[in-house]
């Protein structure tokens, strides 16, 4: 991220949105962590994106943000507000949107998705795209960095939506995900389908397919890509835009595969979320301009019904929610990830308990120094991702009254999702108040062991 952006950490935009921490950016834009109600009791973490006024088609983008804020879908990142501000004499446009803990591009350097995980990713992305396309809009940036996780849901970014059929107002760099017609043709829903095909291959192989853009030949789908994804990617990556499958056709193929998986007992499913009807979003469509309606008529996307009993696999988003998440605590409480992979110091733990249920709070006697222990709250979908045992160790500073005054992560294991829930639980522990001959601040080490069946914990006084 450009240092010119980063220096604004700690500043406030429009008198309401504090730039708490930089999340990334480029020379054109930057994203910061913020809160929606910074001075209220109901404040909520959010992301704020800033662009300079006069940078490219910034003003046109501002209108897109305002219109996109009217769209509501469970698999689209919510846009709360768009506005204008100024910092150090620089005029800015900003959009405040739902904060996502992670995006798919953070997973791929470490591993490819399994077929089951790809199913969990693909269905919600397709529903979001279908919602967008049915309103005459185009996403235009379908790629792993824009497929995000919010709690246990997969969501698609929504801050770059365009009207289908419009042309970019300026020069546009071609990305590796763009279709052959990206440079010369108007924005189309078929471009989203091509980008989806490229993304699908990447998430299953960790590599984009190799193809010769100059020769206009279709990319080869690697043999390692399993069905039905191989068939889907092949129909997405047709050089001629008109020969590509629509999102509705892809969704039907995915749902048919789910039916077959249920028949074989290979896939478990749960009911889909309800989405707004067309009647509820007529006003939203009008806000995107008159061109939206005519383009929607030209694009004959089938409005495939959402199956009440079979529309989403249980594993939706588990590949993301089990990844690292950044704590919202002050800097002094952030994880150090030191001593990664080491064992808990000390001999026998003061106490050990296990539980098969999340968020269990147990009060103990004072014999071992622990008055109250709180078990981490783990979502069922996250627990199903566990292979073996995930260990997380948290060091806590205990004040004279027995309350936890400070936490520090010592061993994070492979996933900060579990680190986060362990840290949250550790902050609620209570210990025996300090004796007169003891220091005012004592240190304990709490080690949590997560498995598919249960969560275990041990507490040991830290040695000095």
> Residue 303 pLDDT more than 60?
no
> Residue 301 pLDDT more than 50?
no
Question: Alpha-carbon distance 68 to 82, whole Å?
Answer: 10
The pLDDT tens digits of the residues spanning 114-160 come to 998 999 899 999 999 999 999 999 999 999 999 998 877 899 999 88
The pLDDT tens digits of the residues spanning 335-389 come to 322 332 323 233 333 333 333 344 444 444 444 789 998 999 888 777 877 878 8
Please report the pLDDT score of residue 23 as a whole number.
Answer: 86
Please report the pLDDT score of residue 353 as a whole number.
Answer: 39
Q: Helix or strand or coil: residue 274? A: coil
Q: How far is CA 413 from CA 24, 377, 450, in A?
A: 25, 17, 10
The pLDDT tens digits of the residues spanning 396-410 come to 999 989 999 999 988
Q: Does residue 80 contact residue 6 with C-beta atoms inside 8 Å? A: no
Please report the pLDDT score of residue 347 as a whole number.
Answer: 31
Q: Does residue 179 contact residue 196 with C-beta atoms inside 8 Å? A: no
Share of the chain above pLDDT 70, in %: 72
Among 8, 200, 1, 229, CA closest to 112? 200
What are the structure tokens assigned to 197, written together? 């095909």
The pLDDT tens digits of the residues spanning 61-82 come to 788 888 888 899 999 999 999 9
Least confident interval from 46-55, 231-240, 298-307: 298-307
Please tell me the pTM assigned to this model. Answer: 0.60
Average pLDDT over residues 162-183: 77
Q: What is the DSSP string of 431-453?
A: EPPPPTTS-SSEEEEEEEEE-SS
Q: Does residue 154 contact residue 316 with C-beta atoms inside 8 Å? A: yes
Q: Which domains does the chain have, with CATH numbers?
A: 3-98 (3.30.200.20), 102-321 (1.10.510.10), 331-461 (no CATH)
Q: Directed axis angle between helix 229-236 and helix 115-133, to 10°?
A: 40
Question: Alpha-carbon distance 221 to 199, whole Å?
Answer: 12
The pLDDT tens digits of the residues spanning 88-124 come to 888 889 999 999 888 999 889 889 999 989 998 999 9
Q: Which runs of consecutive H residues, i.e. helices, occur in 265-398?
A: 282-287, 290-298, 318-321, 380-383
């Amino acid at each position: 991220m450009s240092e010119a952006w980063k220096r604004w950490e700690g500043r406030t935009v429009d008198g309401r949105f504090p730039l708490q921490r930089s999340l990334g950016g480029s020379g054109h834009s930057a994203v910061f962590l913020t809160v929606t109600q910074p001075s209220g009791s109901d404040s909520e973490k959010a992301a704020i994106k800033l662009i300079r006024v006069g940078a490219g088609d910034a003003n046109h983008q501002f209108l897109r943000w305002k219109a996109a804020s009217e769209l509501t879908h469970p698999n689209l990142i919510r846009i709360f507000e768009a506005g204008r501000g100024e910092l150090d004499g620089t005029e800015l446009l900003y959009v405040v949107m739902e904060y996502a803990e992670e995006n798919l591009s953070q997973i791929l350097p470490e591993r490819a998705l399994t077929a089951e995980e790809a199913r969990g990713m693909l269905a919600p992305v397709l529903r979001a795209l279908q919602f967008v396309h049915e309103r005459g809009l185009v996403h235009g940036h379908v790629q792993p960095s824009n497929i995000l996780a919010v709690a246990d849901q997969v969501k698609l970014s929504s801050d770059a939506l365009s009207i289908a059929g419009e042309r970019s107002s300026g020069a546009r760099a071609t990305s590796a995900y763009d279709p052959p017609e990206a440079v010369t043709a108007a924005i189309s829903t078929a471009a989203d389908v091509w980008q989806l095909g490229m993304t699908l291959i990447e998430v299953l192989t960790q590599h984009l397919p190799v193809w010769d853009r100059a020769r206009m030949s279709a990319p080869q789908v690697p043999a390692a890509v399993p069905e039905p994804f191989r068939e889907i990617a092949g129909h997405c990556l047709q050089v001629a835009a008109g020969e590509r499958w629509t999102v509705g056709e892809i969704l039907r193929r995915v749902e048919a595969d789910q039916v077959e998986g249920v028949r074989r007992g290979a896939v478990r499913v749960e009911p889909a979320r309800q989405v707004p009807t067309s009647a509820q979003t007529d006003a939203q469509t009008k806000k995107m301009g008159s061109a939206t309606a005519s383009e929607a008529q030209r694009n004959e996307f089938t409005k495939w019904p959402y199956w009440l009993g079979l529309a989403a696999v249980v594993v939706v988003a588990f590949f993301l929610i089990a990844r690292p998440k950044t704590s919202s605590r002050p800097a002094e409480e952030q994880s150090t990830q030191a001593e990664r992979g080491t064992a808990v110091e000390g001999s026998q733990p003061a106490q050990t308990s296990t539980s098969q249920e999340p968020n269990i709070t147990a009060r103990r006697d004072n014999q071992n120094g622990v008055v109250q222990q709180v078990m981490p709250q783990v979502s069922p979908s996250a627990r199903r991702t566990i292979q073996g045992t995930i260990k997380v160790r948290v060091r806590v500073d205990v004040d004279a009254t027995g309350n936890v005054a400070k936490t520090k992560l010592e061993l994070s294991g492979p996933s900060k999702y579990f680190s986060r829930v362990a840290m949250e639980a550790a902050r609620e522990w209570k210990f025996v108040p300090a004796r007169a001959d003891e220091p005012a601040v004592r240190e304990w080490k709490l080690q949590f062991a997560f498995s598919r069946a249960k969560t275990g914990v041990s507490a040991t006084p830290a040695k000095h």
